[in-house]
Every structure is written in C-alpha cells, then in structure tokens.
C-alpha cells in the first residue's frame, strides 16, 4: 500500500430497508470529490448492461458521469484514462477471472499505487483489492488463473461478516471458524467487515468508516473488535 493510493472498500452495496448505495452516499461523494467520470467494472455479474444501468443511474444521481469498461473498445486504455474506478459486487471468482482475461490487473494496480486512479470496490470489488481472494464468501463458479489479486492493501477482507449466533439451534460452522482455518494456512491478517462497514485508505492510513464495526483476525491471536472511526494498524 503506497502513500498515494486512495481507496474506498465497502462490505455491501445496500442495507435492509434502504436503496442501492444509500448508506454510503455521503462517504462516496466525499471520496470522489473533484472526480467527473467514474469507470465501472461490471464483471462480477453476468448481465453487464443491466448492472451498468443500475450503477450509472445511482452514481449520476450523486453528480458523477459513469462509463463501463465492458463498453470500451480498449479496456486497458479505458483504465489508463480513468479518474476513478468502481468495481461492483457479485461473484469474486468470476470477477477475478475477467480481470485476468482482460489484462486489467497490472494497469489498475499501477495507476492506483501511483495516485492517478481512485479505487472504489464493493464486496467482490473489495475482495480483489486484497493480496488474494482467499477470504471471499463466494462459490468458485469459475476458475481464474490464480487466486492472487490486486494487492492494493496488505491485508485480506471478508465482506458481509456475520457474528456467530450462539443461540441458534441450526448453528453449524461459523464465519469465525472459517477465518481461523484460513489463518492456519496463511499469515496475512483479515479485516472482517460487517454490513454497513467500509474502509477508507488515504495517505497510507486505513480508517474504518460507516455505521458498523469490524473484527480483526490475526494468526495466534484472539479476534479484535474495531469501531467506526478507528484506524487500522496491521
């Protein structure tokens, strides 16, 4: 993670009882202040045009022009000229496979790290900002060439984190157990984001934003709670 990289990584795109990106509108507008055009990446879902229409309408209501990488005659050139990129949620494996197939990982990584491209990712889009996608919740419906992703941050993210319900009669394997199993084989710490939580990366600092907390999972340590407004020190 460089001092010039700027990222906004959201656990989810909607909360129960509210519309698409409603809970994050203020943070998005602040993060994208000064940006005119946002390049959308719809590859995590199958119906690219439908997805783009939904996102474009919502971001336009916030005052931004939106184009989609799947409409561009040259997707790499579109990334090279973009001011900001928004990678939407869906299936992380499908998304990463498409990013490899379009040879977009390197140009996105370089332009974000150099500070020319602001990066916003939701759910799967947050997952691919990490070193790998090993902490996604998604099924591997396709097989990307590698699980290695953009590596824009030095930690893993687990979006849509759900606390164990110890009173549930149907309780089986919990998210905590899965993340602890990940740490048995991997050393990279995990930031588990509850619904409504997001991470803002600016000037080399990572701050928890939104209306919900997060849990930090590290090997050989008990999970640690983090409240909105706190800075991550990983």
| Residues designated catalytic | 123, 138, 160
As given in the structure block, the two tokens for residue 201 are 């990366």
Virtual torsion, Cα 64, 65, 70, 71, nearest 10 deg: 170
Name the burial class of residue 98, with classes exposed (0-12), middle (13-18) and buried (19+) by CB atoms within 10 angstroms of its CB: buried
Interaxial angle between packed helices 105-113 and 92-101, expressed in degrees from 0 to 180 and rounded to the nearest 10: 90
Three-state secondary structure call for residue 56: helix
Residue with tokens 């001092």: 3
- Is 233 exposed, middle or buried, given 0-12, 13-18 or 19+ CB atoms closer than 10 A? exposed
Please enumerate, as own/partner, the contacts of 160-164 that have beta carbons within 8 Å and a separation of 24 or more.
160/11, 160/12, 160/123, 160/193, 160/195, 161/11, 161/192, 161/193, 161/194, 161/195, 161/214, 161/215, 162/194, 163/194
Could you give the count of Cα atoms lying within 13 Å of 40 in the half-sphere of its Cβ? 25
Query: Cα-atom radius of gyration of the chain, to the nearest Å?
Result: 17
Alpha carbon distance 201, 208 (integer Å): 9
């Amino acid at each position: 993670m460089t001092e010039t990289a700027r990222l906004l990584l959201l656990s989810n795109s909607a909360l129960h009882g509210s519309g698409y990106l409603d809970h994050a509108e203020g943070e998005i507008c602040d993060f994208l202040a000064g940006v005119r055009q946002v390049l959308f990446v719809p590859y995590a879902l199958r119906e690219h045009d439908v997805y783009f229409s939904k996102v474009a309408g919502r971001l336009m209501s916030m005052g931004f022009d939106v184009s989609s990488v799947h409409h561009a005659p040259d997707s790499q050139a579109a990334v090279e000229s973009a001011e900001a990129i928004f990678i939407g949620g869906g299936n992380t494996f499908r998304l990463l496979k498409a990013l490899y197939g379009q040879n977009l990982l390197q140009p996105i990584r370089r332009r974000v790290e150099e500070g020319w491209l602001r990066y916003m990712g939701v759910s799967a889009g947050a997952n691919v900002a990490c070193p790998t996608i090993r902490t996604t919740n998604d099924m591997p419906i396709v097989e990307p060439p590698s699980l290695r992703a953009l590596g824009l941050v030095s930690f893993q993210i687990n979006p849509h984190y759900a606390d164990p319900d110890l009173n549930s009669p149907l309780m089986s394997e919990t998210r905590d157990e899965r993340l602890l199993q990940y740490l048995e084989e991997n050393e990279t710490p995990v930031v588990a984001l509850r619904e409504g939580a997001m991470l803002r990366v600016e000037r080399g600092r990572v701050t928890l934003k939104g209306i919900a907390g997060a849990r930090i999972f590290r090997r050989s340590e008990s999970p640690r709670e983090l409240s909105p407004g706190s800075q991550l020190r990983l």
